[in-house]
Amino acid sequence: MRKNRFLIWFFWVLVLLVIFSLFEQAKKAKMQVIDLTTFMNQVKNGIIKNVRIIESEAKLIGKKKDGEVVYTYFPYSIGDEIIRELQGNNVNITVVPPDNGGSWTKILIEWLPFILVIVIWLLILNKSNPGKALDFGKSKGEVLTPDKVKVTFDDIAGYEEVKEEVKEIIEFLKDPDKFRRLGARVPKGVLFVGPPGTGKTLFAKAIAGEAGVFFIAASGSEFVEMFVGVGAARIRDLFSKAKEKAPCIIFIDEIDAVGRQRGSGLGGGHDEREQTLNQLLIEMDGFSANDNIIVIAATNRPDILDPALLRPGRFDRKVTIPLPNLAEREAILRLHASKIKLKPGVDLKFLARATSGMSGADLENIVNEAAILAAREGKEFVDRENLQMAFEKVVAGAAKKMRSLDDKEREVLAYHETGHAVAGAFLAPHKLIHKVTIIPRGYAGGITFLLPKKEEFLKTRNELLAEIKVLLAGRAAEEVFLGDITTGAENDLKRATELAYNMVTRWGMTELGVRSFGKREEYVFLGREIGMSKDYSDVTAAKIDEKVTSIIDECYEEVKELLSSKKEEIKIIVEKLKEEEELEGEEVLKILGLEVEEMVYEEKVEGNENGEVEEELMTNDETLEIVNAADNELKEKVEDDSAEKAEGA
């Protein structure tokens, strides 16, 4: 507080000095400068009656009868003669003797603007980063002591295989002599690779929490600055801190910001980024065997990293953290549900089944959104309806019920979405109709939710063709039932064309042969695909276009035939959809005369002796027991698989 007060007072003193100097300059600007001869002639002629002599500046200031002020300078060698001449002309003379401090005052006034600029600059830096205005080369990495790292493997549901893969790192940090006795070298760097939201940062913290060591976290972007050399200095400071805290873990998030391949890209190299990367390579390669420091980095783009960064001795171990499977999604949902008040009997399997392809962060967001919806409605607990609404909101956006649609638009949307649903029911047996709605969500006028019946790791040719047919069914329904088409199928046509094109050029699923067409080139500096070179002739290009068009046309005609054969059922669905705006998948299947697949959404809760259901909220401990049981089951499965592989070997 005292320091800030001093800076404020110092600032205002400088401001006053600047104002004073400006007044002095303005005062000087009012005086007219003349030569010495003219000045002395005006003295002789009685025009100037008052003269002020400033000896230190060899300056004569004269005041005329009319009040005008003029000044001139005289040589030091004739100073005495000028004074005698002035005295002989009956002029009032005032002599200002030399002042030793005058020169310093002049210097201060001349340099004051520059000093003021520097002080203001320092004040701005101090305000943005108090106490560290000039610490450009200091690392901004956060240092967490072992007691502040609260995350352990108990906070990570599922991923037992990943836990097994990093377990030896924890053991090395706890007992390095166990490995050194046998001459083993634990990896100095571990690279976590996986899609966004899969828990790479969480795993790094959990390793530090399990090992009970310091955790130093930094971001790759903080090492890339405008000034060359700052990033390299911060790297040196980061590793210097780590050596003081050893054993410890250095975690660098989004390392691709600084670790991209050198000398690549449209604009060539970037001096600051490349110097920073070089310093990182040197620091990692300079570790001695007793440093007890492990560097963990995270990225979702390992393909653009510099090869020198991935060689043995640096990031020589790559751990893939994939999207969770069905069992892991259920365990993750249970873990996050333990932090909210969940209605007893709600089974999370239906949500785990519906969220195929989602990350752990997505699942946490769904549970949190469900709790927010329940709180907004004033409920005492979160039920299945809240979870389902949260899932739909995260996937497609919030429902915009206030958006006004006229009767014609509602009819078009109803036929469009019904076309998707009917095609999905009859042509896509690997999909399950979850809900059909004509309530706008996001940029979509309506949505048909089709969920996978099982985990989808691979897709067959027939499944891809079925997805193309479902995408085209909305446009086909408009043409068959309304006799006109709209712009509502824009995204459907784009996705269908992309699938057909990939079937021809990437997956070899047509008569053009079992090969891929086109070499996709990536500029690692940009980090994205920006072009594709042709490795085929123009004749082949024409055949590719013809085949893509053929797939789209054949699927479209088949969908039109299906919809034409189900006109009565479709009209019933459309009328109910226009009236209710939303239909559950089971209701659509019943109208179509198809068997409804049973899905267990909620566990049955037995009633008491009066037949009433007693609702008791599960405690966090009870829910965590379920989560731990699921984790143990996964762990046993991993150990059994490992044992079988060992026996086979």
Residue tagged 């949260």 (tokens): 390
The DSSP annotation for 508-537 comes to --STT-SS---EEEEETTTTEEEEEE--S-
- Amino acid at site 76: Y
DSSP result, 408-449: HHHHHHHHHHHHHHHHHHHH-TTEEEEEEE-S-BTTBS-EEE
Contact by Cβ (8 Å): 358, 325: no
Closest-CA residue to 351 (of 381, 335, 330) = 330
- Residue 49, H or E segment: strand 48-54
E strand or H helix at 494: helix 490-505
Structure tokens belonging to residue 504: 């021809």
Best CA proximity match to 385, nearest among 357, 424, 355, 343: 343
Q: Is 378 left (phi over 0), alpha (psi -120 to 50) or beta?
A: left
Q: What are phi and psi of 142, to 5 degrees?
A: -80, 130
Per-residue burial over 98-129, b = 16 or more CB atoms within 10 Å of its CB, e = otherwise: eeeeeeeeeeebeebeeeeeeeeeebeebeee
Whether the CB-CB separation of 553 and 465 falls below 8 Å is answered with no
Asked if 61 and 93 touch (Cβ cutoff 8 Å), the reply is: no
Taking CA atoms, 354 is separated from 286, 433, 647, in Å, by: 49, 11, 37
Which residues partner with 441 through β-bridges? 399, 444
> Is 490 a catalytic site residue?
no
Taking the CA atoms of 345, 347, 348 and 351 in sequence, report the sign of the dihedral they define. negative
Q: Using omega within 30 degrees of 0 as the cis cutoff, is the peptide bond preceding 195 cis?
A: no
Residue in 473, 420, 479, 428 with CA at minimum distance from that of residue 454: 428
Q: How many CB atoms within 10 Å of residue 296?
A: 29
Q: Which of 328, 417, 467, 569 is catalytic?
A: 417
Task: Give dist(CA 166, CA 320) in Å, integer.
Answer: 11
Residue 382 DSSP symbol: B
**Rounded Cα–Cα distance for residues 22 and 26 (Å):** 6
* Alpha-carbon gap, residue 305 to 517, rounded angstroms: 26
- The string of DSSP codes covering 296-364 is EEEES-GGGB-GGGSSTTSS-EEEE-----HHHHHHHHHHHHTTS-BPTTB-THHHHHHTTT--HHHHH
Enzyme catalytic residues: 417
